[in-house]
Amino acid sequence: MRLFSLPFLIAILASAVIGAAVDSRAQGATAPDPAIPVPHGVIGDDTPSSAQTLAFGVREALTIREEIALRQPARTDEHLDGLFERLAAAEDATESRGVVRLINRQWLRSGSDTADLLMTRAREAGREHDHALAVELFDRIITMEPDWAEAWNRRAVAFHRLGDPLAAMADIHRAVTLEPRHFGAWAGLGHILRESGDEAAALASYEHALSIHPHIPRLEPIVERLRRDLYGMEL
């Protein structure tokens, strides 16, 4: 199985965002649906910034040195470390499911009762498809707890559902910088890259996610198909 280093994937992330920024303007991107509120922090067609300026800013924001990419998670937790060891050793999806549930439970704890309450409200907004409200709530959470990787990851999901892949990828970058083992964020990046047509980069991101969590539901068939289409490889 082909696996890619984390710095290589960070480079893919940066180049993908830059390419999307330039291509959206060059190809005449569809104007946003006026019925959908534009979330805080999203650059729209009415901003004076050119595609080149946006691409430069994104490139600078996503620049990351190898020693930073390979550093330990921002929040250290021996219990969480043990869960990842159990996840890596899980023999099947059934065994890994319970471990993943415990990992997600740990990720959803910020250490702040107020931030945790806002997270609950933001998740409820997402379930009700009010993604603009979810983004507003995540903005408040991230202001309070800027090193909470799950908040960045969840806001990335909300941005993606609002049709803003650039903002989503920028938030994914921050999430995996804070928690390099965030298999959900890496898989999410793969989905965005696949939607954009960059199947090779999507495959790299999916494979990295599977190197952390080998039994992500429904992901292995996608990876198998991409390997076959791109390289004639089978699992």
Please state the rounded mean pLDDT for residues 96-119.
Answer: 96
Q: Is the pLDDT confidence value at 135 over 50?
A: yes
Structure confidence at residue 197 (pLDDT)? 87
Question: Mean pLDDT lowest for which of 48-52, 85-89, 129-133?
Answer: 48-52
Single pTM value for the model: 0.73
Q: Is the pLDDT confidence value at 140 over 70?
A: yes
pLDDT grade for 65, boundaries at 50, 70 and 90 = very low
Question: Mean pLDDT lowest for which of 70-79, 138-147, 195-204, 218-227?
Answer: 70-79
Q: Show the tokens assigned to 224.
A: 């198998």
Structure confidence at residue 161 (pLDDT)? 96
How close are the terminal C-alpha atoms of the chain, in Å? 7
Question: Mean pLDDT lowest for which of 6-10, 160-164, 205-209?
Answer: 6-10
Q: Single out the residue of 120, 195, 107 nearest to residue 153, CA to CA.
A: 107
Query: Which residue ranges make up each domain of the chain?
Result: 6-31+40-64+110-231
Q: How far apart are CA 64 and CA 117, in angstroms?
A: 32
Structure confidence at residue 70 (pLDDT)? 60
Structure confidence at residue 13 (pLDDT)? 54
Mean pLDDT score across all residues of the chain:
77
Q: Single out the residue of 72, 159, 151 nearest to residue 112, CA to CA.
A: 151
CATH architecture of 6-31+40-64+110-231: Alpha Horseshoe (1.25)
Q: Is the pLDDT confidence value at 54 over 50?
A: no
Please state the rounded mean pLDDT for residues 46-50.
Answer: 38
* Packing angle of the helix pair 199-212, 6-26 (nearest 10 deg): 150
Structure confidence at residue 196 (pLDDT)? 86
